[in-house]
Amino acid sequence: MPTKEKIKPAALSAPERAIAIMNALKDVYPDALCSLESDNPFELLVATRLSAQCTDARVNLVTPELFSRYRTLEDYASADVADIERIIHSCGFFRQKAKDIIGMAQGILSRFGGRVPDTVEELTTLPGVGRKTANLIVGDVYGKPAVVTDTHVIRLCGRWELTDTRDPVKVEKRLRALLPPEESNNFCHRCVLHGRAYCRAQNPNCADCPLREICPFAKKNGF
């Protein structure tokens, strides 16, 4: 019986490679879940804001106290900023993050009727909310097509030669063009998982990577 010919990275166009990588990631990481822990849309918004320049693991250590102490939007909107600063101190940039958390709650109450917005355009009018955070909320909370261009996604998509820029907005636009809309959000979650497991910024483990057969970066490094 003839053996199946291996797919060579050079033989695939970028759109074809994107779909091949998307399917491979689905096989390796069937459960594409956000690693930030939360129980409602605003808590996820807060956790995502805290994750800037901080690990998700650290955020998950900090948020239980914050979420048990502040339970409603009104609680956050009227919070003492110093108390929030104390709780989130270890996440870094705690003063600005505390200010943004209070401002987000106030903005949602005053302009969105107490409901976390469901569009990137509306979410990015809130303090401290950029497109990465907004896309996460839109995708994970509301189930809409979303592309979360965090550092893992930017790094991996560059190595896979799906993108040729590190500009998050340009990467987002490119991935929206390459991926089926219904797959884009989970694709980004799987990129994070793969970036942690194999495709690290330093010392990537190409030798054991399950995507090495279709990865231009692995090919260039002799795998």
Q: CB-hemisphere CA count at 13 Å for 127?
A: 13
d(CA 124, CA 122): 5
Residue type, 156: L
Residue 33 token pair: 């879940």
Residue 186 token pair: 């989970």
Does position 145 have pLDDT exceeding 50, yes or no?
yes
Helix (H, G, I), strand (E, B), or coil: what is residue 39?
coil
pLDDT of residue 73: 98
SS (H, E, C) 100-134: HHHHHHHHHHHHCCCCCCCCHHHHCCCCCCCHHHH
pLDDT of residue 10: 53
CB atoms within 10 A of CB 176: 13
d(CA 44, CA 12): 37
pLDDT of residue 109: 98
Integer Rg of the chain from CA? 19
d(CA 30, CA 192): 13
Q: Tell me the C-alpha to C-alpha distance, in Å, between residue 16 and each of 26, 59, 193, 206.
A: 16, 36, 22, 21
Say if CB 188 and CB 143 are below 8 A apart: no
- pTM to 2 decimal places: 0.90
pLDDT of residue 33: 87
* Backbone torsion region of residue 157, taken as left when φ is above 0, otherwise alpha when ψ lies between -120 and 50, otherwise beta: alpha
pLDDT digits (tens, 9 = 90+) for 165-202: 999 999 999 999 999 999 999 999 999 999 999 999 99
Q: Identify the residue with better confidence: 34 or 1.
A: 34
CA geometry: angle at 34 spanning 114 and 38, to 5°? Answer: 40
Average pLDDT, the chain: 94
CB atoms within 10 A of CB 112: 16
Mean pLDDT, residues 109-137 taken together: 97
